[in-house]
């Protein structure tokens, strides 16, 4: 059973519009046929009558009478009118009860109502009246009953043709409207389920590849991304809780132990210093999280300006050189030519610092760390390679996630995540490769890295 929603559906409204268009076109076509048929029949009859009246103008009265009688004899369908009037208007012969109300000019004129010879009823007819040489008037006419009957037939055919067409179009419109209504009901049900917390639900797709399907597929992709981000957010929340709980619990335990032991000032001071160290560790984690969030918002883009990426790399290497020497790690840099980049110099320095710090941390004594910066195919390029333990192949896609820590790693697991976020902000792609031995982190620039709009620096 159809609901009222079907008749309010867009498909049904389109069907009604199509119905009106088809009806109008059909009526126009039949109307044109109607007018052409009627006009052609009347014109043909008028031409014949005018010609016969002209030919009879000079006939003798007896000859004209015989011709008119023959005409009436052959008129089996009783469609012809003929009459002969004298100069005074008296009827001499014919089946016309009286002189039609038309001018005697030898031209055809339509009379809407002409009495039949038996005066039982009237009908439309066309007449021609022409004056003869003796002053009399000869009248020729023909009934338009057949022409009007044809017109009625055309109108009746129009009505008969339109009725099933209207019903068929309405049925088709109702069918597609019902189908669309059910489809949208399924989509609405899926949306309600998602709103009620069933985040794994998806909008139904009919595989028709129409506009609705395209929107449904796009929404499903968006839901996939939202679900991924929610899972990531949950993992981040769990990791934050774990990273903050551990130092806070250690700090609390130190303070509780110092208070319970009734220790002296020196012991309390040592306990407080240990607790402060743990609190500082938690603060570092919180600051790193806020740092990632600040970079991801892109608010720093307003501070973008032109700078030399090679010079930044040199500064970072110079800063970490003492640390590398203390670990007996050889650190070198190759950045001979200027590398123009548009962005936030401080953020880019932080990203490279995280990569270099990571390389020095995981490189054993006697190892090497090499930093390279150059223009490759017209785009900026930076690589930080070490001869450390390297990155397992199964972890290469994970190390840039927040709070991810491999088996040999320490810290809060945010350094590489911050580096990748900063790289993305500047249009760089950060990847990790095997250095055999060790790892090699590469930042490849794009057109965005070199062609950031100038007004972003203002």
- Dump pLDDT digits (tens) for 180-195: 777 778 888 888 888 8
**pLDDT score at 263:** 59
pLDDT for the residue 457: 35
For residue 444, pLDDT over 60 is answered with yes
Residue 64: per-residue pLDDT: 80
Residues whose CB falls within 8 Å of the CB of residue 451, separated by 6 or more in sequence, listed in order: 342
pTM recorded for the entire structure: 0.46
How high is the pLDDT of residue 265? 74
- What's the mean per-residue pLDDT of the chain? 78
User: Which structure tokens are listed for 255?
Assistant: 């303070």
Over residues 215-219, the mean pLDDT reads 87
Per-residue pLDDT for 401 more than 80?
A: no
- Select the highest-mean-pLDDT range: 112-121, 332-341, 389-398: 332-341
pLDDT digits (tens, 9 = 90+) for 292-322: 666 655 555 667 888 999 999 999 999 999 9
143 touches 97 (CB < 8 A): no
pLDDT number for residue 11? 59
Task: Give ∠ CA 46-49-51 in degrees, rounded to 5.
Answer: 110
Side-chain-facing half-sphere of 118: CA atoms under 13 Å: 3
Domain(s) of CATH 3.30.565.10: residues in the chain: 301-457
Confidence of residue 380 (pLDDT cuts 50, 70, 90): very high
Which pLDDT tens digit goes with each residue over 223-262? 888 887 777 666 656 556 655 666 777 777 777 777 776 6
Has residue 411 got a pLDDT over 80? no
The dihedrals phi and psi of 454, each to the nearest 5 degrees, come to: -60, -35
Question: Highest-confidence range of 5-19, 155-169, 350-364, by mean pLDDT?
Answer: 350-364
C-alpha distances (whole Å) from 323 to each of 328, 330, 359, 365, 418 are 9, 10, 11, 12, 22
- CATH code linked to domain 1-199: 3.30.450
Residue 423 pLDDT greater than 50, yes or no? yes
Residue 175 reports pLDDT greater than 80:
no
Q: Report pLDDT for 385.
A: 94
pLDDT > 90 fraction of the chain, expressed in percent and rounded: 13
**CATH 1.10.287: which residues of the chain?**
211-297
Q: State mean pLDDT over 34-44.
A: 75
Residue 309: per-residue pLDDT: 92
Per DSSP, what are the bridge partners of residue 130?
138
Residue 331 has a CB neighbour count (10 Å cut-off) of 23
Q: CATH 3.30.450 spans which residues of the chain?
A: 1-199
Q: What is the CATH number of domain 211-297?
A: 1.10.287
Domain 301-457 belongs to what architecture?
2-Layer Sandwich (3.30)
Model confidence at 267: pLDDT above 50: yes
Rounded-to-integer distance, Cα 153 and Cα 150, Å: 5
How many angstroms separate the Cα of 278 from the Cα of each of 170, 243, 263? 77, 11, 20
Is the pLDDT at 456 greater than 50, yes or no?
no
Averaged pLDDT for residues 70-84 = 78
Which spans in 196-264 are helix H?
211-260
- Residue 416: CA atoms inside 13 Å, Cβ hemisphere, count? 27
The mean pLDDT value for 11-36 works out to: 70
For residue 329, what pLDDT is reported? 92
């Amino acid at each position: 059973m159809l609901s009222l929603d079907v008749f309010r559906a867009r498909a049904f409204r389109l069907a009604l519009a199509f119905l009106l268009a088809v009806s109008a076109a059909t009526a126009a076509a039949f109307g044109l046929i109607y007018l052409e048929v009627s006009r052609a029949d009347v014109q043909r009859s008028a031409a014949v009558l005018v010609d016969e009246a002209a030919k009879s103008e000079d006939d003798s009265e007896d000859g004209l009478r015989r011709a008119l009688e023959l005409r009436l004899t052959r008129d089996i369908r009783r469609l012809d009118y003929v009459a002969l009037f004298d100069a005074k208007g008296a009827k001499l012969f014919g089946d016309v009860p009286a002189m039609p109300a038309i001018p005697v000019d030898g031209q055809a004129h339509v009379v809407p109502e002409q009495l039949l010879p038996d005066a039982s009823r009237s009908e439309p007819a066309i007449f021609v009246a022409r004056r003869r040489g003796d002053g009399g008037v000869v009248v020729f006419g023909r009934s338009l009953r057949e022409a009007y009957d044809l017109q009625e037939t055309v109108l009746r055919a129009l009505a008969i043709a339109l009725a099933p067409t209207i019903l068929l179009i309405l049925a088709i419109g109702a069918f597609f409207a019902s189908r669309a209504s059910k489809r949208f009901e399924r989509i609405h049900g899926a949306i309600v389920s998602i709103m009620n917390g069933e985040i794994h639900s998806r909008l139904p797709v009919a595989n028709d590849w129409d506009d609705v399907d395209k929107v449904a597929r796009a929404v499903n992709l968006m839901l996939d991304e939202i679900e991924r981000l929610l899972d990531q957010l949950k993992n981040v929340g769990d990791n934050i809780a774990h990273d903050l709980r551990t130092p806070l619990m250690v700090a609390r335990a130190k303070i509780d132990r110092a208070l319970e032991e009734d220790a002296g000032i020196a012991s309390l001071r040592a306990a407080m210093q240990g607790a402060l160290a743990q609190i500082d560790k938690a603060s570092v984690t919180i600051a790193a999280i806020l740092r990632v969030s600040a970079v991801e918002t892109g608010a720093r883009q307003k501070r973008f300006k032109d700078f030399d990426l090679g010079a930044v790399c040199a500064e970072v290497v110079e800063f970490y050189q003492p640390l590398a020497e203390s670990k007996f790690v050889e650190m070198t840099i190759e950045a001979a030519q200027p590398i123009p980049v548009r962005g936030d110099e401080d953020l880019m320095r932080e990203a490279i610092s995280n990569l270099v710090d990571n390389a020095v941390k995981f490189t054993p004594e006697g190892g090497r760390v090499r930093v390279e910066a150059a223009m490759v195919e017209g785009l900026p390029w930076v690589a930080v390679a070490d001869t450390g333990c390297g990155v397992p192949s199964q972890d290469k896609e994970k190390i840039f996630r927040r709070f991810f820590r491999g088996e040999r790693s320490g810290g809060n697991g945010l350094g590489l995540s911050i580096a990748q976020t900063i790289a993305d902000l500047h249009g760089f792609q950060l990847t990790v490769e095997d250095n055999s031995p060790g790892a090699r982190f590469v930042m490849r620039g794009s057109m965005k890295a070199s062609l950031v709009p100038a007004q972003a620096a203002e």
